[in-house]
Structure 1
Amino acid sequence: MKRSIALLIPAGLLVAAGVLPVQASDSRYPVSYIRKVEITEPSGRTAWENKDFLDCDDVVLTQEDVLFALRHMRRVSRSAYDPEKTDSTGCEGSATVTFKNWKNLAMGIEPNGRILALEYDAKMKVAGSPTSFYECSPCRDRKMTLLKDALYRADKRRFKRLVAEGQLSAGEAELRLKRARDSRDRP
């Protein structure tokens, strides 16, 4: 009897590991422990803004975005976050999250799921580690789906510019624009 139980425990752990999501949130910031979320800057531009990809005026950070990010973000290294090595939209919204223990988390969230976070104590002094870097693939998928029209407008601007520069014919630009929209609409 003891042998069969000893064999079932490791098997149960393997099954549980398979059920748990690969994208785990940072356990230091439980959503159930949040006192308040304040959006400090709903839409902002960084030096990396690329209007051919996305106009920052089309991106607005919401409270739901912050809560979703806290549930799904995973920590990455500083080098993995580097905008020169990864895709960056150049758009970023900012929020401050206050927890029930009065710990504060200042967050910068890009629509592509890149997140910067800095922890403060109740007196707004930097607490713990320096800036933390996060990635959130579910956040990117969610936000980019919501931004389909904004991405379509960016494609339209880009193709219009290429036609004006003589690098593309109007017919080819229209065809490419239709192809880009169709590729986004596919599940």
Structure 2
Amino acid sequence: MNKTNVLAVALLLASAVCATHAADKRYPVAYVKKIEITEPSIRSAWERKDFLDCDDVVLTEDDVLYALRHMRRVSEKSYYSEDTERTGCLGGARVFFKNGKAITIGIEPSGRINTFELNAKLEPAGRPETYYECEPCASRKMALLKDALNRADERRLKRLEAEGQIPPGQAEPRLKALRESREPNPSKN
């Protein structure tokens, strides 16, 4: 294979990778006029405090902009799949665009996102809800929530130790191992 073919294949692969995390063109970040955080932190029936306390998860304008840049559309079936990771935490916002369009967006720390368009009265416009995933959002938010995850692990392990489900004195070493597993390993990079 000559250099031209190798370059062409490399460019094709690079464009395919970029397309998998391309934002929805209906909601361009460049046209965002205003963001209103309507629900900075909501807990649902899916909340698992042993994993993450929703009080530690707060949606920001930066989170919304980041999501708009990186979310990719998925089917409703994929969004509600049993295999989909859920934290039980959610934040909500209204996004207003310069062209007059407005949406409500719900963002989970796991990168699950749902949107629906709003009419002039800020009510659902009658169009179906749209579902997204955002892997970069999940990585970013979970990195920001590392302390919250550590606190949840500590609560869970101490409870398990107190209940006798793990041997006495094992909560601290296990907690240390979990914290170390969340730290980037420079030798692997």
Considering the TM-score relative to the shorter chain, is it more than 0.5?
yes
Structure 1 unaligned blocks of 5 or more:
1-7
- 5 Å matches for 1:1-187? 16-20=11-15, 21=18, 22-82=20-80, 84-127=82-125, 129-187=127-185
Change in CA separation of 1:163 and 1:77 when aligned onto 2, cut-off 3 Å:
same
CA drift at 1:122: 2.7
Q: Distance in 2 between matches of 1:83 and 1:15?
A: 33
Q: Distance in 2 between matches of 1:11 and 1:158?
A: 51
User: C-alpha offsets along residues 117-142 of structure 1, whole Å, 9 cap, x if unaligned?
Assistant: 01113333433631111100000000
Kept in 1: contact 2:21–2:70 (CA 8 A) = yes
The answer to which of 118-127 and 86-95 deviates more is 118-127
CA drift at 1:50: 0.3
CA drift at 1:170: 3.2
Matching residue's letter, 1:72: H
Larger radius of gyration, structure 1 or 2?
A: 1
Q: Distance in 2 between matches of 1:53 and 1:152?
A: 9
Kept in 1: contact 2:161–2:170 (CA 8 A) = no
CA RMSD after TM alignment? 2.0
Q: Distance in 2 between matches of 1:14 and 1:94?
A: 41
Identity %: 58
Aligned pair count reads 179
SS of the residue aligned with 2:143?
helix
SS of the residue aligned with 2:95?
strand
Kept in 2: contact 1:102–1:121 (CA 8 A) = no
Aligned to 1:3: none
CA drift at 1:79: 1.5
Kept in 2: contact 1:35–1:100 (CA 8 A) = yes
Q: Distance in 2 between matches of 1:87 and 1:132?
A: 18
Change in CA separation of 1:65 and 1:112 when aligned onto 2, cut-off 3 Å:
same
SS of the residue aligned with 1:101?
coil
Change in CA separation of 1:97 and 1:145 when aligned onto 2, cut-off 3 Å:
same
Q: Distance in 1 between matches of 2:54 and 2:141?
A: 13
SS of the residue aligned with 2:104?
strand
